Amino acid sequence: MPRIKLTEYRAKKLLLGDAYRGIPIIANEKPELPKLGRFAVKVDQGVKKRMKKGLVLLDQSPRAISGVVSKLRKNGLASSPTGGFSRFLAEPMLRHNEKDEQYVSFERVREGIRFMHAKAGGIEIESNPEAVETFILRNAADVKAAAQKTKLPENFLKHALEVFENNFFAFLEINPLVVINGKAEPLDAAVLVDSAGAFFVKDAWTADDIVEKTAGSRAEKNIEELAKTSPASFKLNVLNPNGSLFFLLSGGGGSIVIADEAELRGAGKEIGNYGEYSGGPTRGETYLYAKEVIGLLIKSKAKRKALIIAGGVANFTDVKQTFMGVIDALAENCEKLNKAGVKVFVRRGGPNEKEGLELMKNFLKKEKLLGSVYGSDAVITKAVDDAIKFIKVNRH
């Protein structure tokens, strides 16, 4: 399952528990701030290279914090179409020596937990591989050996691993980490959790703790919502909103093959959307997915447009049921599609293929949308090839 990023606040809260004194600040809320002390104020939305981007302000007085937050909020407007940053974190400043900053990370790998350590923190480990020591931790003995070698407190390692396992972390990076008087203090913490673990962690982390990606289009958001409600799989990415090729593809692997073919024929830039549906969706779910794609197609300003309904030979996704869902969505838009001269190209195989293809062909013929319809006896790329021929005609 996908690895998803938590807020720095939640990451540190899980790692440090009640000892953690950070204060999350969400959008317009006015948090309870202590009267004394100095604070670091940061944007807490999974943004990389925050320092460089000016999204971390150090040594602020308590009174200055809300001013800093509003400044940071406006800062994000240029990069985010939905109105700037909305999540921040205020932490008590930790005085330390920059020389004492170290790097540690933990990642779940096949053999166990891969633990990486560098004595000099804040570095890009990818560009300084020789500075990094790697250990595979499988048991208590491994942990002890790693603690000895890195001179990090063994308790810290043990505790970090416990938190890691209990909360279904997939990746934990603390950069920088400082060890003061034998106590390990994370100055920054980034956690990727295994989203499949959500059920098992109860409320240790929830949807509120997940850093949102930059807002996508409404169609993409709708499909994200749809995917949450079903055991079947749905993905949608808008590529070129004014493209001429729009895809309703099935299967992760097959969809890439078909998209590849478009690129190979020089039509890669014409692709309006990439995505796929698979894993046995119902007629109703397929209808909702197709509706979004057809909506995108209709909005596109391209002169000639084609809809490609294609995929491999499914194992258990019912071609008849899913095609009925697609037909339901097409039926709502026939007038607009005809007006734009849109044609539909199909290649699909799987359970109830014969009935599904027949239904589709008859419908497309009736509504004057027929480009071509093929089953498993044609090559997987047939539909997209036919569609590209279609859009290339009369191109200026």
Judged by the rule CB under 8 A, the positions of this chain that interact with other proteins are 1-2, 108-110, 112, 165, 168, 170, 194-197, 199-200, 231, 233, 235, 237, 239, 250-257, 259-264, 268-269, 271, 274, 276, 278-279, 311-316, 349-354, 376-377, 379-381
CB-CB contact of 4 with 193 (8 Å):
yes
Q: Which is nearer to other proteins, 152 or 160 (CB)?
A: 160
CB-CB contact of 200 with 190 (8 Å):
no
Q: Which is nearer to other proteins, 4 or 329 (CB)?
A: 4
Measured CA to CA, the distance from residue 348 to residue 212 in angstroms comes to: 35
Strands 39-43 and 23-26: unpaired
Q: Which is nearer to other proteins, 20 or 274 (CB)?
A: 274
Q: Which is nearer to other proteins, 143 or 184 (CB)?
A: 143
Element (H, E) at 338: helix 334-339
Look-up of token digits 């920059």: 98
The answer to whether the bond into 176 is cis (omega within 30° of 0) is yes
Q: How far is the CB of 145 from other proteins (least distance, A)?
A: 19
Q: How far is the CB of 335 from other proteins (least distance, A)?
A: 23
Q: Which is nearer to other proteins, 2 or 129 (CB)?
A: 2
Q: How far is the CB of 283 from other proteins (least distance, A)?
A: 13
Q: How far is the CB of 47 from other proteins (least distance, A)?
A: 16
Q: How far is the CB of 219 from other proteins (least distance, A)?
A: 16
Q: Which is nearer to other proteins, 110 or 339 (CB)?
A: 110
Long-range contacts of 62-68 (CB under 8 A, 24+ apart): 62/33, 62/34, 62/35, 62/36, 62/37, 65/25, 65/33, 65/39, 65/41, 65/90, 66/30, 68/41
Q: How far is the CB of 126 from other proteins (least distance, A)?
A: 9
Element (H, E) at 247: strand 245-250
Residue type at position 156: F
Quote the longest CA-to-CA distance of the chain.
79
